[in-house]
Structure 1
Amino acid sequence: MTCCTERNRLRPFSHLPRPLEAIRQFTPNWFAVTMGTGVLALALAQWPGGGSGLRLLGEGLWLFNAALFVLFAGLYAARWVLFFDEARRIFGHSTVSMFFGTIPMGLATIINGLLMFGLPRWGEATVPIAEVLWWIDVAMSLACGVLIPFLMFTRQEHRIDQMTAVWLLPVVAAEVAAASGGLLAPHLADVHSQWVMLVTSYVLWAFSLPVAFSILTILLLRMALHKLPHENMAASSWLALGPIGTGALGMLLLGSEAPGIFAANGLPGVGEIAAGLGLVAGITLWGLGLWWMLMAVLITVRYLRDGIPFNLGWWGFTFPLGVYALTTLKLASLLGLAFFTGFGCLLVVSLVLMWLIVVRRTLLGAWHGELFVSPCIAGLAK
């Protein structure tokens, strides 16, 4: 009996009745892996005073992440081709449908990596590729930000006592695209294209952040009235840090490029104002993020007392922390304050440790097939 058990442990997808079940049960939750891995690659490359070793490590991780994104996109596309009737059930599921937002956010980390790693290695030829991918990312982000809330209002069943920060995922995607636009805009050769991308990025930021803050307000009330969510959703406490950190980073990145791009398009004074507002908004949002991060730490400690079951939601520990780390390091470079440098490094180290823990559990769960579960078809016969 022990021998048979050992053989099952070594056999891939041992928890699935057949290997094809991995495609049938594949959900957008998996793209959260590309979000966490991608933000770690970017954070490693921005370590203050980091040498070529850390940058090469980040580049390797980014290439691995790009391959993962392509793999996941292929698996999810295959599910829609092979199991269309079951795949479309996701639109009626009140939780899994939220994870559509992880697809454009995962793509955004690849676009940012193209600029950070691809540009020095392959030259200016990477910029048009990044630009095309960015507009695709924008289209997906806008679709997620409108259509998923529309489904919440018209088709899905929701209750305030069951609400979690997962509601943020489809909304925040536009904000992440805005931050990517701030990175990409100055690399475009045409002044008008820079102008269009910068203005679009500001619109995306405004498209996302106020709605995200509305959700955060309701989330505070929900937790005060109904206390913490179930242990399965423990990592969702960190998701609130995502829109705050991304909002701050977006303002810092857009503000940094605003003077040059606004001036080139005949509005030099406005560009200087945008830069100042971006810095002040970035610092202010960073302070709010500090409150949410400390609260998330306390909540996680509370969950750990009773144990937290592992699921793909654990990747929610990584991306928000990574974005907040990037924001902290950006403030360090702009303000020249040692506190932000030291705290940013601490956050990156924490991100590395968390990523190592989560990726190990994910690899084991994927190998055995335990993580291939689609709640929207869980009641159907296998």
Structure 2
Amino acid sequence: MTTTLLPHRPTRTALPAVGPAWYGAVMGTAILTTLTQTLVPGLWVAQVLLVLSWLLLVGLTAGFAAHTRRHPGTLAASVRVGALPLWGMVSMGMLAVGSATAAVLPAWAPALAGVAVGLDAALWVLGTALGLATAVGFATLLVRSDAGAPTTVWGLAVVPPMVSATVGAGLVPHLAPTLQVTMLLVTAACFVLSLTLGAVIFAVAYHHHWRVAGLAVAASTTAWIPLGVVGQSTAAAQAMAGSAGPLLPAGPAGLLQDLANDYGVLMLGLGVPLAAWAVAMTVRGFRRRMPFVPGWWSLTFPIGTLALGAHLLGVGSGMTGFLVAGTVLVLVLAGTWTLCAVASVRAVLRSRVAGAR
């Protein structure tokens, strides 16, 4: 790790208590788990990451529950308009861990394949319900109240339904025939909802940061959040087309796959300048020694969705360039995950030492 990425004496800031703000660690770890298994099936690293994903999910959930009992009013404060988008990370954390479990556990322990699908389905139901509530609830609050200056963090509230679309499409082959069409319709609705709300919210946020007030140094890594919709919607389109294909005649199935391919090429193309801006903001943040906050984990999940989207687009279209891009992005994700994990451990240990004095 170089000093340009993690300064010797970074500015320190108080860490938030255990809660939704930390679920970016769950999301980043889980998507790295899935991508590791996808690119290198059976690698022990994916198994270790899966266990870590579950430990983070269960540990943060139990810790937040205990914290709310000790500090009445914490839960109410977490669902106010300014903090509500963070619950989107809780939803996406559940969905990502479920997907990672379905990807890794059957290869690790074939006898538990049914358990893996059951866990994936259970977390999909919980994550989707929470994600829809967060997306619709936040959109309603934006209309009815003043949420302050627009920010890319708002997007955390509307990305979860897109993750639900991707993960739900993966569950279709495991469902009874009578439920497969229903699930595809639900995933399509989630796709449209997330894309519509995301387009509006991110357009407003980009306008604010590019024309009104620049992104704060401390929030530099949040520039990656909009890329989550770019990559995740590309992955969702491929997943839905792949699951719907066997249920359709050859002609419509081929047309649907072509539409998914064209959509993915368009979205990833639009994502290039957005990724360039995110890189510029991140470099600026580290150069100016931005303090560590859980928001650093924004450097993981969005990059992971771009990797997943590029990989699935490469598989669906046969264009090897996207497969290569997906592999490169996974390597980038491995680096940013390591950076965030090390920085998180250091920050937590320092906070505990300071609190003990």
Asked if these proteins are the same fold (TM beyond 0.5), I'd say yes
Residue 229 of structure 1: aligned partner: 215
Cα deviation, 1:228-269, whole Å, max 9, x if unaligned, reads 221111111111100111111100110111121345xxxx75
Task: Give TM-score, length-normalised by structure 2.
Answer: 0.88
Mapped contact 1:137–1:177 kept (Cα < 8 A): yes
Q: How far, CA to CA, are the matches of 1:111 and 1:325 in structure 2?
A: 18
Alignment of 1:298-309 (within 5 A): 298-309=280-291
Residue 103 of structure 1: aligned partner: 90
Match of 2:235 among 244, 249, 270: 249
Displacement, 1:45? 1.4
Q: How far, CA to CA, are the matches of 1:168 and 1:293 in structure 2?
A: 16
SS at match of 2:23: helix
Letter in structure 1 aligned against 2:69: V
Mapped contact 1:312–1:362 kept (Cα < 8 A): yes
C-alpha RMSD of the superposition: 2.4
Q: How far, CA to CA, are the matches of 1:112 and 1:233 in structure 2?
A: 29
Residue 380 of structure 1: aligned partner: none
1:169 to 2:156 alignment: yes
CA distance 1:304–1:132, change in 2 (3 Å): closer
Gaps of 5+ in 2: 1-12
Residue 131 of structure 2: aligned partner: 141
Match of 1:286 among 240, 264, 268: 268
SS at match of 2:114: helix
Q: How far, CA to CA, are the matches of 1:360 and 1:132 in structure 2?
A: 31
CA distance 1:212–1:371, change in 2 (3 Å): farther
Structure (1 or 2) with the larger CA radius of gyration: 1
Residue 213 of structure 1: aligned partner: 199
Q: How far, CA to CA, are the matches of 2:314 and 2:79 in structure 1?
A: 42
SS at match of 2:18: coil
Residue 183 of structure 1: aligned partner: 170
CA distance 1:304–1:129, change in 2 (3 Å): closer
Q: How far, CA to CA, are the matches of 2:186 and 2:310 in structure 1?
A: 25
Residue 56 of structure 1: aligned partner: 44
Letter in structure 2 aligned against 1:201: T
Residue 118 of structure 2: aligned partner: 128
1:259 to 2:240 alignment: no
CA distance 1:25–1:298, change in 2 (3 Å): closer
Residue 310 of structure 1: aligned partner: 292
Gaps of 5+ in 1: 1-14, 17-21, 374-382
Residue 57 of structure 2: aligned partner: 69
Displacement, 1:155? 4.3
Q: How far, CA to CA, are the matches of 1:336 and 1:274 in structure 2?
A: 15
Q: How far, CA to CA, are the matches of 1:90 and 1:136 in structure 2?
A: 18
Q: How far, CA to CA, are the matches of 2:353 and 2:229 in structure 1?
A: 27
Q: How far, CA to CA, are the matches of 1:113 and 1:42 in structure 2?
A: 5
CA distance 1:300–1:289, change in 2 (3 Å): same
Displacement, 1:371? 12
* Percent identical: 23
Mapped contact 2:221–2:281 kept (Cα < 8 A): no
Letter in structure 2 aligned against 1:307: R
Q: How far, CA to CA, are the matches of 1:338 and 1:275 in structure 2?
A: 17
What number of residue pairs does the alignment pair up?
Answer: 340
Mapped contact 1:365–1:371 kept (Cα < 8 A): no
Mapped contact 1:101–1:170 kept (Cα < 8 A): yes
